[in-house]
Structure 1
């Protein structure tokens, strides 16, 4: 890091030394202000110092961002041209040899315009290209930059815009290649290449904006704002008349210095202001000023041609009156349009609240409307919390500053709508708060309804879990107590049969027969209460054993069942385990009875807080249709009891049943 900063200090010192040399040159040579503007020395100096200072700041704090180094290069090139300009002008006026000065002048600023600036735009703001294809634009700039230097060095007159410098024969650059001065085709090709490099940079910015995050878009808006202001001011300054003759348009080229300043803010302090608010006001008044000026000039022209011959009032006065009458209504309407672009429906609270309410009507849970809330007001982040402060859903990137809108239902607080403050703002604007408070009413109702629904579902899961646990306890009691007792009675009946006479033996045989029937009934009841295989070998192995029994259907046709398990939790809640087993066995029974499948696959896998089941077969649909039956209805009911999800659908090869069961069902 220290080596990087050492180089930053060296390069910045070079640029500042060149800037100081330019000031000293002006004072020493005594050139006039008009000469300074005609030679473009002032914009070169201002733009060069701006690029160097801004590039140094970026390279100092973000040394791996190539943008800072490109701006430093542009600054050194621009200030280098400004440094030699006064001495070159003096040498030309005195007829002195100026080959070295002309070489430095012609070789410096073209590198800034054709190489460093296009590269800075291509690499803004991250210091990397938006993709591999943009390397072609970099290659074009790298090749065309030195060629532009050769073209400007070949020009016989390095300062054609400054009059009265006398002969230029002694100002030929050492890099001059005379044939290039008349090679118009090569000059045109190089200019086209320069234009393509700049257009590629603009296209890269567009791509970054479309693909970028909220942060990237705000960074790009800083650059776009500076470029827009600079271009508008420069274009307006080109109006023909006294302002053009004064050389003031050349002075206004210094507005280009806003671009590196905006780049630096975008990279280091993009949250300095709410750039969208700045853009809103800037775009509004630029459009408004343009519209007023165009309307004024048009009305003056129309009145002068049509009305003035018949009225004594001048066209300028009438045009002024018309503009004055319509100015404010147009301003208000235009401001609304621009504000809607940057702040959504903040100016129309009813429409914003209605759009969110419409989304809420079709949402499965209240948190699903958070994207609509952010979109309605162009907010960076929104979250919904319940009365316990638990986040029920969120959208966007959580910023540092948050404000909460309470959600009330029947006067009782049921949660909060947390809103992220836009970058550049310190608090939530009153206009935003009004809209959000309107949205809070239906959100509060929906959140309370969701809480009640969750409570009902939670109670339902607890009932199912308690039922299965009770069944498991009953099975254990029957198996461990009643079963052995009946078996013992059976053994004693056998002993009576073996030791007694014929009459008692027949009675003992009858007792034995009754006990055997009771044992059979108890075993059947035990299995109905809770499948014994689940306690013996677990869910996966129990499914495999059941699948092994389905190797053939009732008609004798073969059926191959494959069971695959992946990361299944070793201990499952009783309700989840029984439900999963019942569903799998029911699904496989349906495959065996109602399909012509040759193979079925069962997948059991664990996920974050859930158990996933999938049963698929390759059997074609009966009569060309896949019709769900009673078995699927029973499966859906079992899944719904645990608050899980289920999907049953036909596939190109057969049918598939997929479900997810939450593992917290017994809590």
Structure 2
């Protein structure tokens, strides 16, 4: 039992470490993302423009302003900037390095304003405007896209919680990776880039942010693929992250050769996540759908469906109303902030599936923490109210004494709250709230079971109570023993079927079902039950070996008694009559023999008489003759009459009751039953001085029960050593695979032996 204990406590300790390290992780991600945004955007001078280097908006003619961070400047949405300070953008890109700009500088933009929305045609009259560079204000851009910040917060909160409670699941880790990458990808959208960044050759924030955005899509793809599956090949995991970057390479291979403009080629080089934004949502839907179809359990399918349906709707809207129209007309049919807001609904559906449908199996963790918080608040209220009502402090007490009294009261309240919370956890959730209790479920019971099967049944009952299960069933199908089925609780459809193995041999299976209305078995519960199942398999294997040993011993005893009966019959019907006939001939021939041979005949007659007497004693030792003369009940009556005759002054009353047919009993069962009954009657008359002895022989289809009750003085309680007769009766019962019980009555003793009469002699 050592290995499961190490596993459980290691899991418990690592769980505590995960909860302890989670705030540090969240703080690191938040500070890192804020530091990155400040470094990438807040330190750069701003001209108020927001442009996105997609192919239609960055062309040979110029760069189209897609958004404005401030409406007070001279620029308008749709303006096409063709030159900066008199230098065309194409020349600025070709002639490196760029000009260094600072806050407060005045920059002259040559633009073409057509009066229409953003278009790559760059038509209209050429004009010049002067722009005063100011500090970049990320808060203004985030305010124009209100769905971005809530999406980032929800991703980080949900991913952190799921990783804290289910760190080994690949889907939860992928969600947290996506949550960490999303803030870094915000420098691609909604911040985008500026015309002044293009003129200063300051595109590295956009490239790094868009690369993070491509990896963000890869993490989401990994989450979608692994959500319905627990096991994935490593090449699939690596392909989810390498795939978006590979799609970008394919996009460059297909589009770069057809463009000679440096501005158009740069637009395609820096948009790392463009191809992934078109393909990964479709791959996510396909991954969720195929995994959903492969699920067998209805509960799991229902949980995945809560994610599949809203995500499919959001992906269709994202592509059909956003990406595809933007590629054709430079504008989405629905603003991007609303399209990204739809993915907030996906996160809400994911959270509902976690809580309602037990996705990732964390509902029990939520309820445990809710119980802890409720217990803590109740304890605090009771402690504060009790201290005010029951323990009023005197007015003249020193301040230090008052502080000490408050400290002692708070400490006592904390101890009491901890104890109450632990008791409630065990009552509500069973051993799942306490691994030590769960491990002790398979500990041997205090009372010694009457048989190994009873020990297994007691273990199953303890396991059912420890886990708050509705039904537990153990099926043993070991070779060499009949099928054994033990169950505890009310029959339900099993939620977990665990095979039991010992090395390569399959011993059977363990089926479990949770009580209606309680938590289903989670992944950690299944791992712990699997460890406990190996212990149960060892116990079951020992039971099977003992059962096979008892069967082998019973077959050996039966074969021995059958052989004795055959030998006795041969001696009684063969050798015995021959010796008797020889003795008779000797006695007839002795009177007619010559005087010189009389002595020889007398010696021969004595030898034959001795041989016949020894042969008679040998026959009686092989098998009681009374069994062959009248059967088991008649033999016991004869012995009872002899025992009563031996006590003429105080002869007890012996009553023998027979239930069932005793004519076709196996030889071993018949001899064992006779010897046990014989010894019990002898003990009752000789040692217990009983006045009444009741002997019952009950024949059932599978066993013979011999029960002898008397009203004697019984077995002395002070004696710890059983007599030879008691030991002999127990050995005769157990060697046939039966049971032997001695009970103390008031007054008297009851001896009960149950002997199985269905033996697997063919095997």
Max radius of gyration: which structure?
A: 2
Q: Which has the higher helix share?
A: 1
Name the TM-score, length of structure 1 as normaliser: 0.48
TM-score (norm 2): 0.42
